[in-house]
């Protein structure tokens, strides 16, 4: 019998388990259940098996962290299992941003957010700081604004390159409709 301790922690007859939210791609999220005492990198084993790739091709990053999680991290009762974990392919992403007749390119860690790329693009294209909040990033040739919290690694997927457009977003004119 399983008793719910909270939304992310369950007690079974054999062991204590934690539920870890994992983002594996743009718009692709799942919850993976791990036993206390498991290596957190078991998540990579599962995703590599699903994708048909080797574990060495993937990295695991906990939301808000800069560096990937290593093999030695073990899930215990103090492990921050409620924080979203991200699975990315290894290696950086070369991001090219297009704005008007120019383009600029720079490498980013896969865990870099769209917000970080936007800040770089605003600086490199010399956008007036008073207008900076009016700009957003879209996939090259598309119109839909990308969420600032999205990782470039999720947008790039297996690819090592990502093309984005710096665009001026919709500006509210204050008129009521």
CATH of the domain at 33: 3.10.20.90
The model's pTM: 0.81
- For residue 177, tell me if it sits in a domain: no
Whether residues 141 and 100 fall in one domain? yes
In this structure, what token pair is assigned to residue 157? 């997927």
Distances in whole angstroms, Cα of residue 104 to Cα of each of 48, 65, 96, 116: 33, 27, 6, 15
Last residue of one domain, picked from the residues 89, 121, 146: 89
Whether residues 10 and 85 fall in one domain? yes
Give dist(CA 111, CA 92) in Å, integer. Answer: 9
Whether residues 58 and 117 fall in one domain? no
Distances in whole angstroms, Cα of residue 167 to Cα of each of 43, 79, 126, 135, 142: 36, 40, 14, 6, 10
Give me the pLDDT at residue 128, please: 94
Residue 130 burial (CB count, 10 A): 7
pLDDT at residue 51 tops 80: yes
Whether residues 98 and 152 fall in one domain? yes
- For residue 66, tell me if it sits in a domain: yes
Cβ neighbourhood burial of 167 (10 Å; 0-12, 13-18, 19+)? middle
* Three-state secondary structure call for residue 51: helix
DSSP for 6-31 reads ETTEEE-SS-EEEEEEEEEETTEEEE
For the chain, the domain total comes to 2
Give me the pLDDT at residue 174, please: 46
User: Domain containing 61: what range?
Assistant: 3-89
- For residue 175, tell me if it sits in a domain: no
Whether residues 80 and 11 fall in one domain? yes
In this structure, what token pair is assigned to residue 47? 């995703």
pLDDT digits (tens, 9 = 90+) for 151-172: 999 999 999 999 999 999 865 5
Whether residues 35 and 84 fall in one domain? yes
- 113, containing H or E segment: none
Whether residues 125 and 82 fall in one domain? no
Whether residues 39 and 116 fall in one domain? no
Residue 26 or residue 84, greater confidence: 84
* Three-state secondary structure call for residue 134: helix
């Amino acid at each position: 019998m399983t008793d719910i301790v909270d939304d992310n922690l369950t007690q079974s007859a054999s062991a204590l388990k934690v539920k870890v939210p994992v983002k594996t791609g743009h718009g692709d999220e799942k919850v993976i259940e791990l036993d206390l005492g498991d290596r957190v990198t078991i998540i990579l084993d599962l995703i590599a098996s699903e994708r048909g790739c080797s574990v060495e091709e993937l990295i695991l990053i906990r939301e808000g962290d800069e560096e990937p999680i290593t093999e030695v991290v073990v899930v215990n009762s103090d492990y921050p299992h409620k924080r979203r974990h991200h699975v990315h392919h290894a290696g950086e992403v070369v991001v090219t941003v297009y704005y008007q007749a120019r383009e600029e390119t720079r490498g980013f860690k896969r865990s870099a957010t769209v917000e970080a790329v936007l800040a770089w693009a605003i600086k490199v294209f010399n956008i007036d700081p008073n207008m900076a909040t009016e700009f957003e990033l879209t996939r090259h040739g598309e119109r839909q604004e990308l969420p600032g919290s999205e990782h470039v690694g999720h947008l790039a997927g297996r690819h090592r390159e990502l093309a984005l457009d710096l665009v001026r977003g919709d500006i509210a004119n204050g008129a009521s409709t």
